[in-house]
Structure 1
Amino acid sequence: MVITERLTVRTHGNNHIVDLTERVAEAVARSGLQAGIVALFVPGSTAGLTTMEFEPGAVEDLQRWFEEAVPADREYRHNLRWGDRNGHSHLRASLIGPSLTVPFRERRLLLGTWQQIVLIDFDVRPRQREIVVQILGE
């Protein structure tokens, strides 16, 4: 069986990291499925999904790493073409990727103790993001 839901999240942009774990866990529990996988996908090319320990220090470290690895103030060819100054946002999102798969059993996500599911919005402005949640199982 496949169940599809959508989550909506308001973000601030500029490396804003949002913890989705509880909302995804609720969707899995609500599904009635006992075991399977939950596939998450964020449409768009300036946001990504991953897992991390969602605590202030780790969040700040990851945000800083993105600034150092793919600086916002560099000149990107994308910016020259479109003038929207978010070339770095596209590169950062490409590094993380738009999807994530997490197994579940007994209606519970099989995440590590300190592991949370997060959305990272790399765009240069606030956005309303939609996350597609597909729950597959039995």
Structure 2
Amino acid sequence: MYTAEISLKTSGEGDIIDITPQGNRIVAESGVLSGIINLFIEGSTAALTTIEYEPGVLSDLKRSLSAVSPDDIPYEHNMAWGDGNGRSHVKAALVGPSLTVPVRKGAMKLGTWQQVVLLELDIRASRSRTVHCTVIGE
């Protein structure tokens, strides 16, 4: 087993950051040729998923998340805490905080157009984010 972290700073709500190169670097460092990598984002207003990292589909994802959890409806969280990021928590919960990817031949086994991405969903201007990575295998 091998553990490492990906640390980065986001620019705020709507950032979609391709972390595939960092994930593959961690797999290579681990020496694991066959197994899995689990990636987990710390915090309740960010998420991890896979997607084709191209402008059109990234725009489609942002629009879809906004339709599911729009910014112009009341959220109980906002009423309780006054921080205005109720929609951020809902979006993050729907997408999820973790992702497990197979490792084959010392790299993440992803489709041709599939990348691992971090979604910044918080309304703040920028955030420091940490993705905890665990590689298991042989």
Q: Normalising to structure 2: TM-score of the pair?
A: 0.97
- Structure 1 runs of 4+ with >6 Å offset: none
Matched to 1:64, the amino acid is R
| 2:7 aligned counterpart, secondary structure | strand
Q: What residue in structure 2 maps to residue 133 of structure 1?
A: 133
Q: Per-residue displacement from partner, 1:90-123 (whole Å, max 9, x unpaired)?
A: 0000000000000011101110000000000100
Q: What residue in structure 2 maps to residue 65 of structure 1?
A: 64
| 2:122 aligned counterpart, secondary structure | coil
Q: What residue in structure 2 maps to residue 46 of structure 1?
A: 45
Q: What residue in structure 1 maps to residue 76 of structure 2?
A: 77
Give 1:34 shift. Answer: 1.1
Q: Per-residue displacement from partner, 1:25-52 (whole Å, max 9, x unpaired)?
A: 1110111111100000011110110000
Give 1:13 shift. Answer: 2.0
Q: What residue in structure 2 maps to residue 23 of structure 1?
A: 22
Gaps of at least 5 residues in structure 1 are none
Q: Per-residue displacement from partner, 1:1-46 (whole Å, max 9, x unpaired)?
A: x111010111122121100001101110111111100000011110
Aligned: 1:115 with 2:114? yes
Q: Normalising to structure 1: TM-score of the pair?
A: 0.97
**In angstroms, what is the RMSD of aligned CA positions?**
0.7
Tell me, in whole angstroms, the C-alpha distance in 2 between the residues paired with 1:31 and 1:14: 32
Tell me, in whole angstroms, the C-alpha distance in 2 between the residues paired with 1:104 and 1:97: 21
Q: Per-residue displacement from partner, 1:57-109 (whole Å, max 9, x unpaired)?
A: 11111011111111012110000000000000000000000000000111011
Matched to 2:65, the amino acid is F
Tell me, in whole angstroms, the C-alpha distance in 2 between the residues paired with 1:93 and 1:15: 12
Tell me the matched-pair count: 137
Tell me, in whole angstroms, the C-alpha distance in 2 between the residues paired with 1:136 and 1:17: 26
